[in-house]
Every structure is written in C-alpha cells, then in structure tokens.
Structure 1
C-alpha cells in the first residue's frame, strides 16, 4: 500500500502544482510566465516539443518517484524482517 499511496500522491501533487503555477489556463490566478509557456525539447533531450513547465513537471515527478523507490525498498525489507515471528530457543 505505501507504493500506491506514494504514486497517487506524487502524481496528484505534481499535476496540481505545475498546472496551477504555470498553465495558461490558470493565468487569472497570478502572473503569467512567458518563459514557462515557451516550447522546448521535452525534458531538454527528446525531439518532441512541449512547454517548459511540462518538462519541469515531468522532472519533478521523476525525482519524487526515484526517491520513493530508494526509500521504500529498504522499508519493505525491514518491514518483512520485523514481521517474521521470533524463533523460540
């Protein structure tokens, strides 16, 4: 369950923040950043052009998911070890 919660929370957080902060659809909320709305190669390396804020959102989500995997693997190993019953001698 921790991985599902992490995935859902990370995707939701990234989508809401970057959409509201940089999307032209939410320009009425605050200043409109023209640099964020310019097209550039996706993630700076792919041949697909996208608005910069989308690349930033994908980068943010990637970092969150990498950290989740790095943190949850040791957690899972420790939890499995703790859940084993003690052997009576």
Structure 2
C-alpha cells in the first residue's frame, strides 16, 4: 500500500469507512443493551460483542492510518451515543461513551506506535490496554454505588474481552490480507 493511500482513500475506501462507522455504532449499541443482561454473577452478554470495536478501529488504522481511525471512532461514538441514549439507560449510555472514546483513542495510539512490528503485536497490545481502560471506566461509572455484583461483572467482562480480543487476531490477519489483495 502506498503512502498516498493512507491519507487519500478511494471511493471504495470511503465505503469501507462508512461501513466501519456503522459497525462501531451497532457494536456499541448492542453492547450497551446486552450489558444489562447478566449471564451469571460474573458476566454480562455485552462482553461478547464489544471487542469487535477494537477490531474495527485497528483495521481502519492499519489500512488508512491513525487520523482516519480517530475520525471513525468519533463518528461511531456519535452514532452510538445518540442511539444508546434512546435505547439504554442514560447512566449506561454516558458511561459507555466515556469508556468507548477513551479506549478507542488509546487503542489507536498504541496500535500506531507498534504498527511496524510483527503483524499481531500492534492489535494484541492495543486491544489489551484499551480493554483494561474501557472496563475500568465503564463499570466504575455505570454501576458504582449500585447494589449489583458489578465488580465481579467487570472482572468477568475483562476476561472475556481479552479472550475475544485474542480470538479476533485471526480475523484481523485475514481481513488485512484480503484488503491488501484488492485493487486500489
């Protein structure tokens, strides 16, 4: 991929960016709804959907660079916050918004700094650090002071985010290769 393609996306690339923004919105909205449904005393359903947000931002970062990845994160943030405020409790929507944008911006920055190493290092390290930040911010803002087992939910949530994040390394690699094989 040329240096120019990182900063000047083609028409097909703009479609990819629009899909990424929609994906971010859907992922965050689904996670905000699913976090309200415990699977047991240490996990909610939202833990399974959220790590896909890191996959989206890391692919955009790899293909188009950190500037466009940040734009996708902010646009996805706007879509998700509006939809979440309509479909999820305000406390969850606002906690999610704070956690989402902090974690996405950290993910993008760490990924960009590590992008020139092994193909798996940047997404693995960025996802782990961003998942820890996201979990700490979200659960402390959304449920602190509530009479719910939110600390164990946070621990379970982080465990699943990390496991799913590692599991998403293979799709990351496959999608990276597919994108590189497409004509510009």
TM-score grouping bracket, smaller chain normalisation: 0.5 to 0.7
Task: Confirm whether residue 14 of structure 1 aligns to residue 147 of structure 2.
Answer: no
Aligned-residue CA RMSD in angstroms? 2.3
Partners of 2:141 and 2:172 in 1: CA distance: 33
Q: For residues 23-79 of structure 1, give each alpha carbon's deviation from its aligned partner in whole angstroms, at most 9, with x where no partner exists.
A: 13xxxxxxxx32x1xxxxxxxxxxxxxxx1110001111111111111114545886
How many residues of Structure 1 are paired with residues of Structure 2 in the alignment? 58
The 4+ residue runs of structure 1 with deviation greater than 2 A are 73-80
Rg (Cα) greater in structure: 1
Partners of 2:175 and 2:138 in 1: CA distance: 33
| Aligned pairs for 1:67-86 within 5 A | 67-73=164-170, 75-76=172-173
Match of 1:56 in 2: 153
Partners of 1:54 and 1:16 in 2: CA distance: 12
Q: TM-score by structure 2 length?
A: 0.27
Task: Confirm whether residue 3 of structure 1 aligns to residue 121 of structure 2.
Answer: no
Partners of 1:71 and 1:5 in 2: CA distance: 13
Q: TM-score by structure 1 length?
A: 0.52
Q: Which deviates further from its counterpart, 68-77 or 8-17?
A: 68-77
